[in-house]
Structure 1
Amino acid sequence: MSDSKPTRLERVETEQGARSAVLTLDSPPLNLFDQALLESLAADIAELSADPPRAVLLRAAGKVVSGGVDVHVFDGLSVRQGAELWRSLFAQIIHPLEALPCPVVFAAHGLTLTAAFEIALACDILLAGPTATFGLVETVVGLTPSMGGPQRLAERAGSGRARELVMTGDLYGAAVLAEWGVVNAVHEDVDAAARALVARLADGPTRAHAATKQIVAAWRSGGVAHADSVTPEVSGELFDSADLRGGVRSFLENGPGKAIYTGR
């Protein structure tokens, strides 16, 4: 852990000079989500929002991704305080993470419980190692996951699977969740695979990736008809980008695969 800070944000460049970022949970031994980690993570996401890179990798240091939330966070809360806790976590972590105008990749190499799993579900792409396990185990303290996990699980795997996973509080392996569509892919060296994917995405057309996120977000909030209604404007804006102009020109002059994207 660096300078006693429970998260670490690094700005990196790809071989082509594109800017990406790596955000690491680094609070050994279990990366528990206590108040300090939640505040540090929110601050890092705010920094990314203020100066977005072209792709983000969210990962964890240590043997596990996270053992979950430090239960002290919940102790003694009133109804009003509990509701305010969830509002603040949506406002400071989940929604800003989803709103980043670039691809966000989560790499899970080991045990990934509660808040960490919910944050992973808010990312665009979730990669896992073969021994990674996932769980929303809030039922052990009489709670339900409240950082968006159930609804984002339902989006990826269906409502029946979401209810099963949450209500049983069981642990599920990477292979099972890949079969359900929750995990995008399983890799032996998930950290290396995730870094390679982030570099590839960062080297790509950032504005087009941001447009994809906007269109999918419109579908999530209002269905296909709503997504159809926003697509012409969102995608139309891309015709004013150097990415599209350069990509079309290089395709016509040199064939596919020759474009160099500026991202802005």
Structure 2
Amino acid sequence: MAPVDVDFDGPLAVVTLAAPPLNLFDAELVAALRVAIASVAQAPQARGLLIQATGRAVSAGVDVNLFAPLDPVSGAALWRDWFAMIHQLESLPLPTVFAAHALCLTAAFEVSLACDLLLAAESARFGLVEIVVGLTPSMGGPQRLAERAGPARARELIYTGELYDAATLERWNVVNRVLPDDGFAGAARAFARRLADGPTQAHAATKAIVRAQLDGGTRAADEVTPVISGALFGTEDLQNAVASFLRDGPGKASYTGR
């Protein structure tokens, strides 16, 4: 069976890490995940993405066998290659949600940080434990943790190599929502499906504006907002929603465009 599965729940693309029990990030899984993300980018029906996993762990991390033959040149090449996947995921013009039902280590945790939102089950635990092999997280974990939780928290999490529960990371603004273990998969899918059913191009505009603020500050985001938001007036999403709002009233607006 393929280590990564892709299917659709209406407009929601669902990418599942399916190499239980540990979903180790080896060359095969990473290649399959890259193909899966690319397929979502090319799918005209995709209006949202949920990344989830099967098995007793979301992932136990990277298969350390990958590291044994590497030297400084080939190590740098590996990270550049994996960053291409991370950047493609971040660049998707639609809401992306990562659902962590259980233990989520190293590469999988870093993939979750490249998603817009991170949902976690109550019993889920997270860790960037690369110190056990003398490495620092190198798929964007330090910088994306710093973006969410601040630099001191990012350093603490990585320096200690400890496992952190979902409630702690929710307080640190790393996890968006903690959901009950019972029914977690269904609740996470329903949440992601609700986003996918929304105004896709408005969500893409939100992503662009937030990124502009993170990259250049509030005034930089102010500069690009009129152009980004103004373009929405030409979309079917906005035109259909405005018409249905005026026709049917608040709470009944619909989105049928892209």
Offset of residue 86 of structure 1: 0.8
The 2-side partners of 1:250 and 1:10 are apart by 30
1:206, CA displacement in angstroms?
0.6
* Alpha-carbon distance between aligned partners in 2 of 1:103 and 1:223, rounded to the nearest angstrom: 22
- 1:67 corresponds in structure 2 to 60
| 1:137 maps onto 2:134 in alignment | no
In structure 2, give the amino acid aligned to 1:58: I
Aligned residue number for residue 207 of structure 1: 201
1:57 aligned onto 2:54: no
Partner of 1:103: 95
Structure 1 counterpart of 2:203, one-letter code? H
Match of 1:172 in 2: 164
Question: Alignment partner of 1:10: what SS?
Answer: strand
Separation in structure 2 between the aligned mates of residue 118 and residue 168 of structure 1, nearest angstrom: 17
Q: Percent identity?
A: 59
| Equivalent position amino acid for 1:103 in 2 | P
Determine the structure 1 residue equivalent to 2:86: 94
2: distance between equivalents of 1:244 and 1:51?
Answer: 21
1:85 counterpart (56, 70, 78): 78
Deviation at 1:147, TM superposition (A): 0.6
- SS class of match (1:65): strand
Q: Does residue 196 in structure 1 map to residue 153 in structure 2?
A: no
Aligned equivalent of 1:16: none
**Cα distance in 2 for residues equivalent to 1:201 and 1:29:** 29
Alignment partner of 1:260 is 2:254: yes
Q: Which amino acid aligns with 1:8?
A: D
Q: Which moved more, 1:47-56 or 1:230-239?
A: 47-56
Distance (whole Å) between structure 2 residues aligned to residue 86 and residue 229 of structure 1: 33
Counterpart of 2:219 (choices 213, 217, 225) is 225
Aligned-partner Cα distance in 1 for 2:252–2:28:
46
CA contact (8 A) 1:10 1:21 kept: yes
Q: CA deviation at 1:251?
A: 2.3
Residues in 2 aligned to 1:143 and 1:207: alpha-carbon distance in whole angstroms: 39
Aligned-partner SS, 2:47 = coil
Shift of the alpha carbon at 1:238? 0.2
Give, in whole Å, the separation in 2 of the partners of 1:253 and 1:136. 51
TM superposition shift of 1:250: 2.5
Question: Which SS does the other structure have where 2:174 is aligned?
Answer: coil
Point out where structure 2 has 5 or more consecutive residues left out of the alignment: none
Partner of 1:146 in structure 2? 138
Is the contact between residue 105 and residue 198 of structure 1 (CA under 8 Å) also seen in structure 2?
yes
Shift of the alpha carbon at 1:20? 1.4
Conserved? CA contact 1:46–1:96, under 8 Å: yes
Do the aligned residues in 1 keep the contact of 2:240 with 2:257 (CA within 8 Å)?
Answer: no
**Given the two structures, how large is their TM-score scaled by the length of structure 2?**
0.96
Q: 1:174 is matched by which residue type in structure 2?
A: A
1:9 aligns with 2:2: no
- Matched residue of 1:126: which SS? strand
Offset at residue 252 of structure 1 (A) = 2.7
Ranges in structure 1 where 5+ consecutive residues have no aligned partner: 14-18
Q: Distance in 2 between matches of 1:158 and 1:9?
A: 33
Q: Using the alignment, how far apart are the partners of 1:136 and 1:263 within structure 2?
A: 40
